[in-house]
Structure formats: C-alpha cells, structure tokens
Amino acid sequence: MSLRRIATTPFADQKPGTSGLRKKVTVFQQPHYVENFVQAIFDTIGAARQGATLVLGGDGRFLNRQVVQTTLKMAAANGFSRILVGQGGLLSTPAASNLIRISGAVGGIILSASHNPGGPDGDFGIKFNAANGGPAPEDITGAMHRRASMLVEYAILDVPDLDLDVVGEVTLGDCTVAVVDPVADYAVLMRKLVDFDAIAAMFRGGFRMRFDAMSAVTGPYAKAILEGALGAAPGTVVNAEPLPDFGGHHPDPNPVHAAELMAEMLGAEAPDFGAASDGDGDRNMIVAPGLFVTPSDSLAVLAAQAHLAPGYARGLAGVARSMPTSRAVDRVAKALGIPCYETPTGWKFFGNLLDSGRITLCGEESAGTGSDHVREKDGLWAVLVWLNILASTGQRADAILRDHWARFGRDYYTRHDYEEVDAGAAQGLMQALRDMLPTLPGKVFAGLTVAACDDFSYTDPVDGSVTAQQGVRVLFAEDARAVFRLSGTGTVGATLRVYLERFEPDVARHDAETQAVLAPVIAAAGEIAGIARHTGRDAPSVIT
Ligand code: VG1
Ligand code: CO
C-alpha cells in the first residue's frame, strides 16, 4: 500500500451553493474533479483532521459508490484515524447529521444532490457538515471554494476498493473504517423523541398510511421504522428501494413529482395519512385524506402540537423559518409567547440558532422541517411527529389542519418556479427589481397596494455575521406577500422562484382553491417583476 500525491489542476467552479457543491454528473466525471473538491474540504478542516473521525455516506444516486471509495482512500491518506461509513455507502442526510453528533466526528461528507434527479444524465453533489452535524456555514464553504481554485495536488492511498456491503471494521492504512448500519442509530434517536407505543397502537387499531420513498434513501429507514418498529401494514412504504437513478423519477416530494401519492390521497379510498421524502431523506411531504398540507402549514402545526411528542413535552424555546416560508408559524409563536426568527433560505442558517438553544423547531417552505435533535432538516422525523400528534389527539389529519386554520387563520401559499431560465435574464430581472424598490411603496398592482419592500438581509443574532441580497420581498397592505429569489441548487441556467401568499382569517373562506385566492398576488408579482418580459415565459414550469 502506498500513499500517492497526484497532480491536479484547480477548478474555479467548485463553489458550494444553498446546500453543497451540486453539478451535473458529467461535471463530476471530469478527471480529478471529485478528488480536487474532497482535498479542498480536507485542507479547510486543516490540522483538526489528524487522528479525527469522519462520517461518510450518500443518498445512493449514480456515482455514490465510486465517490465513497475515492473519499475513503483520500481520508485515510489525509490523517483521519476513523471513518464511519453507511453500509452500501448509504446514509440519509439527517442520519449522517446524527452520526456526526454522536460519534464526536470532526465532520462528515454527504454525497447527494438531494431533490435533483439522478442517473448518468442527472445531478450529483458533495456537501461537508461540521462537528455540530450541520451544513458548513458560509465562511467555511467560501474557504473550500478558494482552496479548490488553487489546489495543485491531492493525497490518496493506492489500494483496492473496500467491501462496503458488510457491516464491520476494516483497516485502511493507519485508519479504521467502520461500515455501519445506516438506520440503527437514527431509529434509536427517533424512539427517544416520539411515542412509538402510541403510534404502534394506532396502527394496530387499523390506521392506514402510505409512504412514498421515491426510490431514494429513505426507503430502508421508513421500512425499518414504520413497518418494522411501528407495525404498519407491509406495503405501507412504496418505492422503498434506493435506486441510482431513482427509477427515472424526480425525487422531490411535492404534489407535482409525487403525483401518484397525491392521486391516492385525494381519491375515494384514501388511507388515513400520506407522506413522501426526497433523494437524501431530509424533506417531507404531508398529505391528509383529501387535503394537501403545505410545508409552511405543516411547520406551523408541528410548532403548535409538538408538545404532544415526548421529546418536546417541555415546550419549545423558539422557532425559525426561512424568509420565503409563509408566516403561519409566526402566528403560533406569538400565541405561545416564544421568539420566531426569519433566516435566509438554506438549513445552514438555522445552525447557530439551534446550537445556542434559541430555537427548538424550524422549517422551510420547500418541504423541510426539523428540530434540535440533529442539524439538518429531517423528513421521516416530521412524519413521525405528525403520527404522534394523530395518535395523541385521535383526530384525522385533515381535521387537525382545519382546526389549526380556524384558530390561527389560513395562510394561502404557493410557489411558482421558472426553471432553466437564461442566467443573464434572471439576474437582470432581480437587478431591475432591486433598482425599483425605493419607488414601489404606495403603488397599486392588480388591486393590491405595496406597503413595504426590501432585499432581505440577515444578521445572525449569535455571531453577528451579515448575509445580504437573500431575496426581494414585497408586502401588500391586503396582508399578502410576494418574494422573489434565484435558486442556489439548480445545475442548468437559473431558476427563478416566486413565493406567493395571502392571509385569510375568516374560517368561512378557508375552503377556496389556492391558485384562485392568490390570483391577484400572482398577477401583481408578474407585473412588478416583469416576469414574462425578462424570462420570455408566460407560465411557471412548476407550481407547488
Ligand atoms: C432549495 C430550497 C431550500 C433548501 C435547499 C436544499 O434551495 O429552496 O429551501 O434548503 O433547496 O434542500 P434553492 O436555493 O434551490 O431555492 V435539499 O433537500 O437540497 O438539501
Ligand atoms: Co434533500
């Protein structure tokens, strides 16, 4: 066995976005591309990696196994003394976060492009999580990018591939590689947080559920916990086997990409509860019989009812939501008398709030909810807390949501995505919006009056760091809001996201169709931003 130093040419495009470095598989297949970024991660960790533990795993997509092998050999050549890797190279993002935290690792590398499609023509991604289990904050990802842009060589052991399919320990150079069951520790954690006995009793009583794992990483977790530990009927979990191309599907749990689940839940034979998760298991979609639960509403319901789960019986210290997430959770925080923080998009911004104990629960409109149990959003966790609420209250999921609206009012919410727009045109739209901000207040668009607007800037209350230009928000006097930002996870052109919402306090008007209620907000947003003019599109590519 020998340690080799291999010459590489630096890559200038290895800049992590909202959640790690995400590119087309073909980009990662360039010679030395993976190695270059992995070495940049190790160099950024610096001396702290000597003798340290590293966690490693991914969502099973195309390239996962190959990059796991490369990373193992590089980690062993770079001074780590112990590497925990999920069996088969698999770890869901929340399970990886948990493993980092309980093993005292210096950090972890998660291989995933999350909800982006996989396969040879799909996307791949590499993300570094720090010792708290959370996505590296911007100063660290910035340092990785700078390092990747100047690297000239990387270190790797010249050894055959390891067998990752057998649980147990093997030696790699001076390093021990522990191949671990990806589900076991995560299941132990879930058992501490939610009342497994109550949920199991509910399933014994005939409660029926459908969980769509979308042929992605959550399959083994959902099978073991829902069907195994909790006794849900066999077949409750569908698309349970992680596939390198996710079976050709788009592993993004929303009503468009989880259409089969939606059809079942809205049909006559709907089970009592429906849920889905994304490529790497950190997102969740919740569907009640006959009623889709928007992620923003789900966060608000969880905030209002989490105390029913044993892990949260003591109540919540505070909550947080990303800026484009609806203000439904703010109303709950107000009623509970706890703080509610508004952060930029991306889980990394919740890290300091969670670490400092300021918040217990947080979430995003993009189907992400989580708590202080790990430092990532956690899809299956959200589903289990929902099940706990259903078991504790004995209520149907749709009744829970309607009661929530009756108490707090309903925030009608939709997101319109314009995908693969010309990057220059998208930048132009955002710049034009920023330029017109001072002139907007008082103006009327589609019958709505602009009350206030800004380009969201966040000052972290813990470390004082400032993150500017995080999206333009326009607040209307009619208690409606439109938010515009560009995606930081796409791999082709630019994606314009337009987030639209309107508050409706009157319970008599809680049964309307979302797009119809929001039509004036949609029209006003289109007019203000000149969406058609800038993008050449007359309709969004995806409406969720
Ligand atoms: C999207 C979502 C954001 C989420 C991020 C990562 O980012 O909007 O809320 O945190 O994906 O989610 P963007 O920049 O494309 O809007 V996941 O499941 O990739 O880890
Ligand atoms: Co994800």
The string of pLDDT tens digits covering residues 388-410 is 999 999 999 999 999 999 999 99
**pLDDT computed for residue 298 by the predictor:** 98
At 535, the amino acid letter reads T
Q: Which residues line ligand 1 (CB under 6 A)?
A: 18-19, 114-115, 278, 282-283, 322, 345-347, 364, 366, 368, 487-489, 497
Task: Look at ligand 1, atom 16, and give the residue with the nearest C-alpha.
Answer: 487
**Segment 523-531 mean pLDDT:** 97
Give, for ligand 1, the residue of 284, 489, 497 to mutate: max count of ligand atoms closer than 8 Å to Cβ. 489
All residues at 6 or more sequence positions from 483 whose CB lies less than 8 Å from its CB, including other chains: 323, 324, 471, 472, 473, 474, 497, 498, 499, 500
Output the pTM of the full model: 0.95
Token duo for residue 536: 């050449």
Task: Look at ligand 1, atom 10, and give the residue with the nearest C-alpha.
Answer: 346
Nearest atom within ligand 1 for CA of residue 346: 10
Cα separation values, 483 from 103, 164, 474, Å: 40, 45, 6
> How crowded is residue 29: how many other Cβ atoms within 10 Å of its Cβ?
14
Nearest atom within ligand 1 for CA of residue 113: 19
The share of the chain scoring above pLDDT 90, in percent, equals 97
At 364, the amino acid letter reads E
pLDDT at 539 over 70: yes
pLDDT digits (tens, 9 = 90+) for 185-242: 999 999 999 999 999 999 999 999 999 999 999 999 999 999 999 999 999 999 999 9
Residues recorded for the chain: 544
Are 75 and 174 within 8 A, CB to CB? no
**pLDDT computed for residue 20 by the predictor:** 92
Of the listed ligands, the closest to the CA of 22 is 1
**pLDDT computed for residue 395 by the predictor:** 98
pLDDT at 168 over 70: yes
**pLDDT computed for residue 490 by the predictor:** 78
**Segment 413-427 mean pLDDT:** 96
pLDDT at 119 over 90: yes
Of the listed ligands, the closest to the CA of 279 is 2
Tell me whether residue 315 is exposed, middle or buried, using C-beta atoms within 10 angstroms of its C-beta: 0 to 12, 13 to 18, 19 or more.
exposed
Centre of ligand 2 from the C-alpha of residue 312, in Å = 24
Centre of ligand 1 from the C-alpha of residue 141, in Å = 16
Beta bridge partners of 5: 155
Read off the pLDDT band of 19 (50, 70, 90): confident
Nearest atom within ligand 1 for CA of residue 114: 19
Token duo for residue 455: 């380009």
Complex confidence, ipTM: 0.98
Nearest atom within ligand 1 for CA of residue 93: 20
Q: What backbone phi and psi angles, to 5 degrees, belong to 207?
A: -60, 130
- Residues marked active site are found at 114
Residue with tokens 């190279």: 89
In the chain, domain spans: 2-181, 186-408, 410-543
**pLDDT computed for residue 534 by the predictor:** 97
Gap between the Cα atoms of 240 and 214, Å rounded: 7
Centre of ligand 2 from the C-alpha of residue 278, in Å = 6
pLDDT digits (tens, 9 = 90+) for 277-332: 999 999 999 999 999 999 999 999 999 999 999 999 999 999 999 999 999 999 99
Gap between the Cα atoms of 118 and 243, Å rounded: 9
**Segment 491-516 mean pLDDT:** 95
pLDDT at 1 over 80: no
Q: Check residue 17 and report its DSSP letter.
A: B
Are 340 and 317 within 8 A, CB to CB? no
Angle at 507 between CA 501 and CA 512, to 5 degrees: 55
Task: Look at ligand 1, atom 2, and give the residue with the nearest C-alpha.
Answer: 366
pLDDT at 18 over 90: no
Task: Look at ligand 1, atom 3, and give the residue with the nearest C-alpha.
Answer: 346
Task: Look at ligand 1, atom 8, and give the residue with the nearest C-alpha.
Answer: 366
Beta bridge partners of 284: 277
Read off the pLDDT band of 17 (50, 70, 90): confident
Domain 410-543 class? Answer: alpha beta
Task: Give 324 or 492, the one with higher predicted confidence.
Answer: 324
Gap between the Cα atoms of 473 and 488, Å rounded: 17
Gap between the Cα atoms of 211 and 88, Å rounded: 23
Token duo for residue 530: 């000149």
Task: Look at ligand 1, atom 19, and give the residue with the nearest C-alpha.
Answer: 114
All residues at 6 or more sequence positions from 258 whose CB lies less than 8 Å from its CB, including other chains: 212, 214, 252, 276, 285
Are 279 and 322 within 8 A, CB to CB? no
Mean pLDDT across the chain, nearest whole number?
Answer: 97
Of the listed ligands, the closest to the CA of 346 is 1
At 305, the amino acid letter reads Q
Give which of 446, 408, 447 is closest to 326, Cα–Cα: 408
Centre of ligand 1 from the C-alpha of residue 419, in Å = 14
Cα separation values, 425 from 254, 421, 469, 526, 537, Å: 27, 7, 17, 15, 11
Four-way CATH pick for 186-408: 3.10.20.30, 3.40.50.720, 3.40.720.10, 3.40.120.10 = 3.40.120.10
Give, for ligand 1, the residue of 19, 61, 285, 484 to mutate: max count of ligand atoms closer than 8 Å to Cβ. 19
Centre of ligand 2 from the C-alpha of residue 26, in Å = 21
For the domain bounded by 2-181, which CATH number is listed? 3.40.120.10
Centre of ligand 1 from the C-alpha of residue 47, in Å = 31
Centre of ligand 1 from the C-alpha of residue 271, in Å = 29
Gap between the Cα atoms of 144 and 342, Å rounded: 27
Gap between the Cα atoms of 420 and 431, Å rounded: 18
Of the listed ligands, the closest to the CA of 349 is 1
Instruction: Assess whether the region 2-181 and the region 410-543 belong to the same CATH fold.
Output: no
Angle at 387 between CA 332 and CA 366, to 5 degrees: 55
